[in-house]
Amino acid sequence: MQTVGGGIIADISSGLEPVPVALEYSSQEKLDELQAVHTRYIVHSIIPGREDDRACYYDGCDCSSTSATNLCLNESRCGCIAMHGCYYTRTTPPLLTLLLDLQPSNSPTPPIYECNSSCACPPTCSNRLVQHGCRVPVRVFHTGTARGWSVQVMRAVRRGEFVCEYAGEVVRAREIRKRRWGEGSEGTGTGNYVLCLREYVCVWLLLILYILEPSENGAQALRTNIDPTTTANLGRYINHSCSPNLSLFPVRVDSVVPLVGMFAYRDIAEGEELGFDYAGVIGYGDEVAPSNGEETENGRTRCLCNAGAGVCRGWLPFDARL
Ligand SMILES: [Zn+2]
Ligand SMILES: [Zn+2]
Ligand SMILES: [Zn+2]
């Protein structure tokens, strides 16, 4: 990592993201504290057994064209769109955004399937977004309060735009329990959370069928646990908010294990802090397990978001099963 000027690292991703991820720190002590825990920057979640495995689980489309701006947007032409649906659109001025209005609020969203490494289409096709990494220049900074580190956007973001992934290590529930309660879990005190993405599937159909109500009746949840403590992207610095401006969506590229894409749920002004609802905004319920070092009561952690009285729920969600 290179330090530029007093207290700003120009890009903590060291060029891995397509846009700079700046980090501003108030003291060397704060930076040392942070870097002792967050030891590795990654762009995409690390799926066990796949770190060096580029094999793709899915078939690809055979779209190809030299004028490719609208490639893989049309189900009559693209096998990926015909099979999995179309979730992205191109707006004017040209910007690839998520079709948020496809889903009524508070209903679960099916996963997004992007074009993958089996596809014939180029990296510029309209069905590749999350796989390219963070799209919006951001600044990580310390709030100087108990909320700790936070992330603000350095330009205005339009509703539906992809901001960044919530990337970390994909871990099994048993491993989370070991990390939280077993040896070596003491004293991290970094206020980080394991994000548990739950997608509901009806297994009796032997097909992945996403039901319309976030209920476990007749369906089982597919869980993907992402631990961002030591190995993560900028997503680990984005705080919970009871009035969030980001939504999380499962996004599959080459693997059946989804990546978690964070999209703007509404227009976001330049300089605004990013926040997502740890209890889920659209559709599936994602839950979190508090790490050590935060004010807790009966296993719950006090919410420090700025949403205000009547909107803030007071406590963060907590999955007692972990
Ligand atoms: Zn295609
Ligand atoms: Zn494509
Ligand atoms: Zn494709």
Tell whether the model's pLDDT for residue 6 goes beyond 70.
no
Find the 207 Cα to ligand 2 centroid distance in Å: 24
Give all domains of the chain, ordered by start, each with its CATH number: 3-301 (2.170.270.10)
Helix (H, G, I), strand (E, B) or coil at 152: strand
Beta strands 149-153; 138-142: pairing state: antiparallel
Read off the pLDDT of each residue in 281-294 and give the average, rounded to a whole number.
Answer: 39
Confidence bin at 305 (pLDDT 50/70/90):
confident
- Ligand 1 centroid–CA 61 distance in Å is 5
CA of 188 to the centre of ligand 3 (A): 42
Q: Ligand 2 center to residue 57 CA distance, Å? A: 16
The confidence score (pLDDT) of residue 251 equals 92
Compute, in angstroms, the gap from residue 118 CA to the centroid of ligand 3.
8
Band of residue 160 on the pLDDT scale cut at 50, 70, 90: very high
**Nearest ligand to the C-alpha of residue 121?**
2
- Higher pLDDT: 39 or 183? It is 39
- In angstroms, the CA 274 to CA 266 distance is 11
Q: Is pLDDT above 80 for 34?
A: yes
Pick the more confident residue, 204 or 300.
300
Average pLDDT over residues 96-112: 69
Query: Which ligand gives the minimal distance to the CA of 253?
Result: 3
- Cα(45)–Cα(26) distance, rounded to whole angstroms? 29
Say how many Å lie between the CA of residue 40 and the centre of ligand 1.
34
Q: What percent of the chain has pLDDT over 70?
A: 71
Ligand 3 centroid – CA 78 distance (Å): 7
pLDDT in tens, 199-223: 765 444 333 333 333 344 445 567 8
pLDDT at 284 over 70: no
Distance between start and end Cα atoms, the chain: 34
Measure 245 CA to ligand 1 centroid, in angstroms.
30
Lowest mean per-residue pLDDT among 1-5, 27-31, 304-308: 1-5
Q: Strands 246-252 and 220-227, how do they pair?
A: unpaired
pLDDT at 5 over 80: no
From the CA of 257, how far away is ligand 3's center (Å)? 18
Instruction: Determine the distance separating the centroid of ligand 2 and the alpha carbon of 161, expressed in angstroms.
Output: 18
More confident of the two residues 39 and 58: 39
What is the average pLDDT across 154-180? Answer: 88
For residue 234, pLDDT over 80 is answered with: yes
Instruction: Tell whether the model's pLDDT for residue 240 goes beyond 70.
Output: yes
Q: Between 75 and 41, where is the model more confident?
A: 41
CA of 102 to the centre of ligand 2 (A): 20
pTM of the model: 0.82
Q: Which ligand is in closest contact with the Cα of 122?
A: 2
Task: Assign 55 a pLDDT band (cuts: 50, 70, 90).
Answer: confident
Question: Which residue pairs, CB below 8 angstroms and at least 24 apart, start in 31-38?
Answer: 34/149, 34/190, 35/1, 37/188, 37/190, 37/192, 37/229, 37/230, 38/190, 38/229, 38/230, 38/232, 38/236
Q: Which residue in this structure is represented by tokens 């994602």?
A: 286
Task: Name which residue leads in pLDDT, 42 or 206.
Answer: 42
pLDDT value at 294 more than 70: no
Is residue 75 over pLDDT 80?
no
**Measured in angstroms, how far is the CA atom of residue 292 from the centroid of ligand 1?**
45
Per-residue pLDDT, 248: 87
Cβ 60 vs Cβ 125: under 8 Å: no
Residue 235's pLDDT is: 95
Closest CA to 163 of 38, 48, 322, 273: 273
Q: Is the pLDDT of residue 161 over 70?
A: yes
DSSP-derived secondary structure for 237-286: GPEE-SS-SEEEEEEESSSSSPEEEEEESS-B-TTPBPEE-TT-SSSSPP
| Ligand 3 centroid – CA 274 distance (Å) | 31
**319 has pLDDT over 70:** no
% residues pLDDT > 90 (the chain): 39
Q: How confident is the model at residue 173 (pLDDT cuts 50, 70, 90)?
A: confident
Residue 34 vs residue 311, higher pLDDT? 34
**pLDDT mean across residues, the chain:** 78
Nearest ligand to the CA atom of 88: 2
Contact 273, 151 (CB under 8 A): yes
Distance 141 CA to ligand 3 centre (A): 38
